[in-house]
Chain A
Amino acid sequence: MIKMPTLSIFLTLVFVIFISLSACSEKGSVTSDYQWQIIKGFPKPAVPVNNGMTEAKVALGRTLFYDENLSANRTQSCASCHQQAFAFGENIEHSIGSTGQAHRRNAPVLVNIAYNKTLTWAHDSLTTLERQILLPMFAEAPIELGITGNEEEILARFTTDEYRSLFHQAFSEHRFKKFTKQEVSYDLIVKALASFVRSLISLQSPFDQYAYANDDNAISPSALRGMSLFFSERLECHHCHGGFNFTQSTSHEKQLIDRRPFHNTGLYNINLESVNSGNNKAGYPSHDIGLAEISLQPKDNGRFRAPTLRNIAVSAPYMHDGSINSLAEVLDFYAAGGRNITEGKNQGDGRVNPLKSAFIKGFEMNAQDKLDLIAFLDTLTDPSFLTNPEFAKP
């Protein structure tokens, strides 16, 4: 005999399973008024279910992104290190925080970051902007915006009538009354910032015209030759910088199989036996060992995420530490199969780093090849992205 409660238990069970299955997927699409600036037919980025894109959130995020009130001493905003003219990167080797502390890394560009599989230069489990943005906001080593210790004071700066109106428009779905000062929170600030950063889509370069709009004349013969070299097995560029975003560390709503690659490119190979380095007998400078810092596995020493090459011509200097100044020198570096540093504290031959990726083997490149490759990389520059007034300071 079955009793009514059994049915309700059964239905509850089905419901619980359904809910837990939906909870399993960290990201999913959310219906919203937001129109992605993407080529027709392109898959959309995957967006966290609890922070769907809306125009109002993007507008609030943009205002916050450019507001120096977000740093404790009111000297810096996100845009201080992520400048539109440099593809939302920076033209200096290392970024400097609001209190003058130097960051160990080069500010990564914010280009199509909504499609990133992982965020920052070397972290395999940092997958949402909502979590990544906490780093520049609250980090203490080094201090970037410097919010930690000044939380209340800074939050109070965002309770003006103007901001409360923006917050109300962005997050009004559960609040029919006017936003109160108490309702402005770091959680909402982060959600809005993440939405703005996700809106920074660059898919209107000459390369896109060639590749996706089938315009055979969109790029020069030299760029075409450079493109063949780029995609050749001899140069192997596309093994790491492949896919529509020119980084294999890319995902979108239709990409269901996960990939989170990181590579050691032979940039360094310091003999560390003499400098007390634990398990690593050779490797990258101890202040920045890449993925190994997160994974705690010696074999991940020197492994960093391949960045997108979109707008690469405007985002010098290059590499995670900004240690190469020009694209021509980057090409020389890969042609040599790594970097041999012959003097100074980083002395060592990166070309023979035992942890170097198998795809960094070096290659022959004549002067014309080099010009052609640079011409190709130039076709990845999207002028409309760099000057789009919707991305500029409001």
Chain B
Amino acid sequence: MNIKLSLSDALLHGIMLLGILLLIGCNDVEDIDTLTFIPKYQNTPLKCSSSFNHQGKTWQYSQLQFFISEIEVKNSDGQWQTWPLLENKHQTSGVALLGEYCQTSKLKHQLKQENWQLLFEQAIDVKTFSQLRFTLGVPFVLNHQNPLLQPSPLNVPNMFWVWQTGHKFFRLDMKEVNEVKQKDNWQFHLGSTGCKAPSALRTPKVPCRNGNQTKIILDIKESSKENSLESIDVNLEQLFSGLIITRTNSCQSEFNNKSCLALFKNIGLVTSPSQDLFKLTKITEPESMSH
């Protein structure tokens, strides 16, 4: 009897301790097992209900979602090592769906549609790593499979074109919110093109001519003295750079579309490996984070 009691005692205390640790978070510990993404327009965090002014128009997004895969960190020996994800409805061990799908519903509070945080299988000590890299997109081998047989989140229909072209790696649908007669809208859907298959419903056997999976590399050490890797900004104004945002300039990843070319450049897909869409959040200037 006594043994049982002390076991339960220990269990109870253990759970309380775990709870306290979870509440405290990782403020004083350098091991981290989550990574939060924060959508921003000119340093202001965004969500479904927030508007931002760009080129004289007021915009809101109705969907901002993207797949992240092949997440790796570079150790002190210069070796890249995989940082595996926990499996849940938003992520398989290798691919995560981040972002937000805005629903107009009176049941909005019951339908939480946002997921901005990667959860990892194990915590890592960021002090020992110099860089983080990930792919914006879904790797070819996973990209063109029968979506019905895929685990969540690879089975979300509105993030998938067809078997031939695979998933929409990045989807941003925006609409103008002013009280104007004719509201403007704009979409950017990133994904593979030039995929050889007998039809839309067949899987290509060789990688697509334009895979359009983008490697993003972020320098951990530069971001802050504390080596903190708490969050990554998704800077929409950087995405829009050099582009007029209007309905006729939407992009569905067509290789010969001018706005697509500008967007591909802004996400670091063509010409230069640099991009400013994803940046580590500078924690030296505290932001009011509404997330």
Contacts and interface: CB of A to CB of B under 8 A. Distances in A.
B103 A260 contact: yes
B152 A228 contact: no
A6 B12 contact: yes
Contact of B104 (A211, A242, A259, A295): A295
Q: Quick one: which of B90, B158, B250 has the most chain A CB within 10 A?
A: B158
A227 B187 contact: no
B200 A227 contact: yes
A295 B156 contact: no
Interface residues of A, number: 49
A369 interface: no
Nearest to A219: B199
Q: Quick one: which of A248, A252, A259 has the most chain B CB within 10 A?
A: A259
Given A41-B149, A125-B107, A300-B104, A248 B158 contact: yes
A110 B181 CA distance: 38
A210 B202 CA distance: 10
B8 A125 contact: no
Contact of A256 (B8, B101, B146, B152): B152
Interface in A369-391: none
Q: Quick one: which of B89, B107, B162, B183 has the most chain A CB within 10 A?
A: B162
B262 to A, nearest CB: 18
Contacts of B4: 7
B72 to A, nearest CB: 25
Contacts of B180: 354
Given A227-B201, A233-B254, A354-B182, A124 B8 contact: no
B252 interface: yes
A4 interface: yes
B6 interface: yes
Nearest to A249: B157
B156 A259 contact: yes
Nearest to B156: A257
Given A260-B105, A295-B104, A352 B182 contact: yes
Interface of A: 2-4, 6-7, 10, 41-43, 124-125, 210-212, 216, 224, 227-228, 230-231, 233, 238-239, 242-244, 248, 250, 252, 254-261, 291, 294-297, 299-300, 352, 354-355, 358, 361
Given A227-B200, A358-B247, 5 more contacts: A2-B8, A42-B148, A233-B254, A259-B158, A358-B185
